[in-house]
Structure 1
Amino acid sequence: MTPQHYPIQGRWVYQNDPQLFETLRKRSLSHLQAALGRVLGKADDWLFDLAQKEGAVAGSPPLDAMRVLRLSRTPLENAFTKHFEQGFESLLQQISLARKGDQVLTLVEADQLEAQLASEVVIEAVTRAHGPALDAVERRFASMVGVLKLETGLNPLSASSLANGMQAAQADISLPDNLRVVLFKIYERELVSSLGALLTELNARMTTAGILPELGNPRPLENAANPSAAAAAAMASAGQAQHRQDGQQADDRVMFDALCELLHSWRPQNGGGAAAGGAAGGVGGGHRRPLALNEMMSVLSLLQPQVPNAVHEAMSNAEASLAQLMKREMLQNTGRIGVSPDQVNMSTEHEDAVDLVGMLFDVLFDERDFEAQARTMISRLVVPYVKAAVMDRRLFQYKTHPARRLLNSLSEAVEGNKGEGPQEKELLHKAEETVDRLVADFNEDIAIFETLEQ
């Protein structure tokens, strides 16, 4: 059989060095397994220290969490390893696991939302710290398997795959909810500080093999190895609250506080975010005041009848951040209520609300199997949910919040629904009616979500 020659640089190199791919796979798995080991060790130490401060009383939440973590260590490690093994096999075979319906994530079920949002924060942090090196690895992987560009889901070392590794590890294991968020936080810090060494090695090996040497070997961005103080604060706040409060609702509040700390740790600090004024057309400096709640509500009410441009752009561009686009559009529309965009920004609390809703809908648009009609329908919910989150922080504090339940119900009703039979058509019709009522009637009365959810 005549050997094939491939025009894409790198594929011919791989064909003549079949061990190269296996070497890259083994080195990656070894590095990531060691990183997870450190994450679990640090989480165990943190829980032990917390228990010691409380007097190590039998049955205390920290001791119970530590016991569960130790019992779950092997299953966590096995699921984590399996995620990346499948990722490399997917790359080699050029068969996206996501296309085969084997996604690990379940998207907006109540007990998964916080972990999904934490995963989004990990993606942001890893991309900010290692973006150029990650991009070089991805382009070289594409060259190795003979394509110009990898399809979404084919790169086992993309920022999303790295973040989803922790999601996959926890998927089938029952852990205290606040411990899940703490594991994500420690994992984020571990990747930010140690991933650079792996990426440098992989890029060096592929460069030596002649795979796109012109890309060079990008290094971690400056200060990437020093996670912010806010990162540690997330764990501290979760720990302090854990032993002060009891019950599921307390755990929900702990996770919400930890998520906000996660957001603050990666949000641009020097004019890049809405809170700093950067979202208002990129104008920085000057003295800006935060929008008052009634001003936020007025702007959102103006945007509510029609799907904002920010949502259309986010739906058409998987790389776009819905939260950033929404904040920019909201600030740009303050002129419609007589407030100059150059004179205002968003408070941290309001920006948290927009960021969390934005990440939630980013996940929905990227991962859910929505037909075109369903995508349009779900897109109409963005502004009402931003409004609800700004008005009522309990939306993300409590899994049983009526707005959370309503979004779950609507998503389940329209996901994969092509309207081909009477039952599917009826579900779509009811969902459409519900969205119509929410968009038309939601002013400032959160009770509408409970009414519609029933």
Structure 2
Amino acid sequence: MKPSDDIGAGSGARAMPSRPASRVLETLRHDAVTALGGVLSGFWSSIEEQVRLAALAGHDYMAAQEDRVAVLDLSHRALELATRFRKSIETEFEQWLSDRPPPPAADGLSLMSEGELEVQLAAQQIIELMDHQFLHPLAALDERLAVLASHLGLEGPRANPLRPEVPVMAFVRLFRADDLPPGLRSTVFHQFDKRLPAILSEVYTKANATLESASIGSGASSAHPHAIARAAGPAGAGSAAAPAPRRGGAEAWVPDGGVVEHYAPAEGDIAVTESTAPAYGPLSSGLMDVLAAHANGAPPVPRSYRDLVREQLHQWRERREADASMAAPADGSGGQVLSMSQLLSVARMLQGDDPSPYARVLVGDDRRQLGDVIRDELLRGLRELGVDPEQSPLRREDEDAIDLVGILFQSLFDANDLLQQARDIYSRLVVPYVKVALTDDSMFNQRGHPARKLLDAVTEACDGNTGETAQDRDLLDHAGRVVDRVVDEYESDQAVFRLASDELRERLDQQRRRAEVAERRAAEAIHGRERLQQARRSVNDIVASRLSARKLTSAVAFFLDRHWRHYLTQTWLRDGPDSQRHLAAIGVGDAMIQVDADAAHALGSAVADELLALQMPLAECYSSCGLDADAARDAVARIIAALALPDTPRTVHVAQAQDDLDDEPQDGALHLAPGQAPAFEPTVAARMRQLRVGQGLRLIDENGRESAARVAWISPLTARLLIVNRRGMRKMVVSPEELAALVGAGRVVVRAVDAPFDEAMKHLWQQLNAANDGAMSSATG
């Protein structure tokens, strides 16, 4: 077929006027360039206003001026930037039409400057968020573009020219390395991130409508079955287009496990189209076979994320039942299945019962699966109501809900630092969440679900909370009261969860503000200690060099080693090592050494003149050491007495031993032997130096338990990183090399800190995948 051929001719898809394929493509290009160009409409005037307000509220005048100058320059170039932005979008369409290979990937992050690295990481984050947000419309658009390509006679996979990566990277390429100062960089990308989603939504809606009006839709897909495979291929999948270059190879390093990657279907597979469903990892080989069944002639049927998880769950449960030789008939074959009303009646009865059976599983005292314990408790309740579970077994959907809740709660408990009171809180929530899962399994794939938001808030309140401070105890108590209210009040109205989560979230926000203050104080304390260490090391070298090279009287040597040392340290800290005051302080000590030398050669007149000239500097030196006027006079008198006689004994003195300021309390995560340097890979240490404030981490203790953490501050003097938990409490202060050693030892994983429920769902998915793939490998081996 040639580009001039009509779309829809002979397809029988729709009785609508057909249009040439080239005209449809031109319409798509024009609409996209026009809409996306609107991202920069009024953009810089808004940034100017934000910078002005930030300057009024801030205290760093120089940084504010730098930001204002930079944004003024960008405002003057607004037309040029908008033109280049639109040209980049048009170039992507030209790339889609051509047979040229895509441009090579950028060099590794290790070759970037600090500013370029921050820009690239910000762009990656926006791309990943947009990929997930528009997963469904992108999947539909990929398929339609593949059909359009076939009408245009284009062969082979090609990247969607409207994928989120296109406008984001077009925006990034607008700036030179020095265009965005650090203070302006976050403001610019935050504003872009706010504007882009609404415009992308408009673009995708209009593009899909344009293609559908040209008879490129579900009907057209059936007319061109080969287009489905092309649309689902790696280069054609819009949702996979951005993350793909970052998955392989060490050149473009990102933190291990930094993002939950979207499922990118391989060629011939069917894309997941549930718009609210996050994809938590690659599918197992067994499920891949199910999804690829259409390749053998079966019609393609889109599978939702819910279906995929349930398929894995059924395989997992069947394997466990087979291993235990207790395979039960599915869906109640051989008897009447238990009704939902009966099951909910039992759950309602158990909701106020003793939750200790679940608590024992969560802490590991009971080695059974939590789902099995929940099932046993439900069956016990059924018997108490006079129902024989063997005659009325659970439906497969109810079994799914029970197992999902069980794995979810165990994953949450394993992935967070939850202590005694948290165990009690979680165990009370098990039955209410079973009731939610039985009646509304959208909790597992809708991030805005009220029950999901409550579990996130409870986890954040309890994670790492030992109750040591009054605020921590109050937060735990408040979380307990909120959970008690849910247990008492929840019947079927999920508004109970919403009210509880909002109330607890408000308390969390209050504590977060306190945590920010605590983080700043911790950072200031560490920074102050590091400056003192640096000052004392510098002064130690100065004093040692003066004492070790010459013979001095005891009085002068004592002055240099005590009072002068303290004076040098004070001026270094207050004025800096290159300040005039610090250099003048160094001159005082050198002058005293010269006085001592002149006295040794009986140059009495010179000694007297030099001591008179030093009267004021010596007074300032003694004052900085805390000596009053009388003590200062006595000290000077001892020096004069020692210098009065040329034959006063003189020797080479050794500088006093200094208290080691490096004996900062060792963080528990390190466990390094005294004087032992951490073993680390240089490449890993280089990557740790690329981390920025806010980077998420997972800390793993000696028992294998994980907890969420993040980088709260990086020292400008030593590059050490302050690591805090969710509530801003210090976990450790480590150098990049020490952090690399912890990564190599498996004690730290550098990854994004997802919401607790998301993290647990990822663990759930990985657990099912690993179990099913392991079972399949054993069967085929």
TM-score, with length taken from structure 1: 0.50
Greater RCO (Cα-Cα under 8 Å, separation 6 or more): 1
Q: Where is the helix percentage greater, Structure 1 or Structure 2?
A: 1
Instruction: Compute the TM-score of the two structures, normalised by the length of structure 2.
Output: 0.30
